Amino acid sequence: MVEENGLKDLIACHTRISSIIDDHLAYAGYDISELMDNQASFEETIYLLWNLRLPTASEYEKFTSELRANYEISDAVEQCILIQSRKHLHPMSVLRSTVSLLGVYNVHAEERSLEATYEQSIQLMAKIPTIIATFARLRNGQTPIAPRNDLGFAENFLYMLTGKEAQAIEIEALNKALILHADHELNASTFAARVCASTLSDIYSCVTTAIGTLKGPLHGGANERVFDMLQEIRACGDTEAYLQQKLASQEKIMGFGHRVYKKQDPRESYLRQMAKELTQKTEHEIWYQLSREIEDYMKHSKGLIPNVDFYSATVYHVLGIDSSIFTLIFAMSRVAGWIAHIQEQQGFNKLIRPRSHYLGPEKLSYIPLERRSYA
């Protein structure tokens, strides 16, 4: 049955934004290796997803200036993040409600013209890193750091998070991780965003819907759990015994398996290489070594491949990002893809409203409350 199958292999829309063909991921026709191997920036990737072509030098200049001019968040939004910065609140819930709030504070949020949609898109894209860094610092009892509009997307984020200018290798690693997570065809959160867009709802509602969907451990929440697992394995000291026990109790090993990729997740090899380079000869080397042990065991015992979340856990940890906000980093990148899909859906809209196959009883008679009982 379709629902038991999770709509597996069902084509639900047409798109020009990204494709997965023979285990190759491409953005608007560019294989991700083209972007990775030619040192593309994340900003160029956003432009590509939104415009279906790479920018010229002057377009790039204008686009990055617009993003940088919108990095800042208002005091009102910062205050709301402060209220939500308690440790027990789930970081993705905080991001979800803060993005929703951006829509409340934007007086033009209900406008649907191309210009208004573009402005809303730029604002969302530019402010989400500031929201995340502000939240991460407030939650740790630190003062938020204002964005610097002389810095690019990845560099500015690391600066706001740590208060220090990041090293070139760190900026490159985050830039690449952001590119690799930016879009992924009709994944669950993108589908959710498109369903919301198809009702002609506003862009803030669509992105809020997508964040709620990405939050789940079977989608974006996996990399946070990958790092928990690495820490548990380090503490237990026996990778094989740990995995055997988990698999014997039917638990899923986070960061493995994929709905679409069965031989290789094309994003994973770049993240593995980054994890290797960033950890080499540092105190963090252990995380890379343990990851390799887990990968070998999972391949041989279950034939399962690591996915994008597996090595990104080590990369983010080395960049000084707390595991509790890993999924927020995913959202910070994927919002580029969500917005592209929302705009595409708006451009050729048809309400997405499938049918369900009813399995319950039919033609029941109403029994008054006082006579109603169930055996």
Nearer to ligand COA, 253 or 278 (CB): 253
Catalytic-labelled residue, pool 181, 265, 309, 317: 309
Nearer to ligand COA, 110 or 251 (CB): 251
Reply yes or no on whether 258 is catalytic.
yes
Contact 316, 309 (CB under 8 A): no
Place of tokens 């919002």: 335
68 to 18, 200, 217: CA distances (angstroms): 26, 29, 32
**Could you tell me the smallest distance in angstroms from the CB atom of residue 310 to ligand COA?**
7
Per CB under 6 A, does 239 bind ligand COA?
no
Pick the closest to residue 23 from 34, 13, 15, 31 (CA basis). 31
Query: DSSP letter string over 31-68?
Result: EHHHHHHTT--HHHHHHHHHHSSPPPHHHHHHHHHHHH
Place of tokens 């862009």: 203
Nearer to ligand COA, 127 or 258 (CB): 258
Alpha helices by DSSP H, 202-284: 203-214, 222-236, 239-248, 268-279
**Could you tell me the smallest distance in angstroms from the CB atom of residue 309 to ligand COA?**
5
DSSP 18: E
Exposed, middle or buried, 172 (CB in 10 Å: 0-12/13-18/19+)? middle
Considering only the stretches 46-54, 202-210, 257-265, 278-286, report the one whose residues sit in contact with ligand COA under the rule CB under 6 A: 257-265
- Which of 2, 6, 76, 90 touches ligand COA by CB under 6 A? 6
**Could you tell me the smallest distance in angstroms from the CB atom of residue 6 to ligand COA?**
6
The contact mask relative to ligand COA for 278-307 (x = CB under 6 A, - = no) is: ------------------------x-x--x
d(CA 12, CA 198): 13
Per CB under 6 A, does 267 bind ligand COA?
no
Per CB under 6 A, does 252 bind ligand COA?
yes
Nearer to ligand COA, 144 or 257 (CB): 257
Q: Which amino acid is at 114?
A: L
Reply yes or no on whether 309 is catalytic.
yes
Nearer to ligand COA, 258 or 334 (CB): 258
Active site residues: 258, 309
Q: Which positions touch ligand COA (CB under 6 A)?
A: 6, 218, 222, 252-259, 302, 304, 307-309
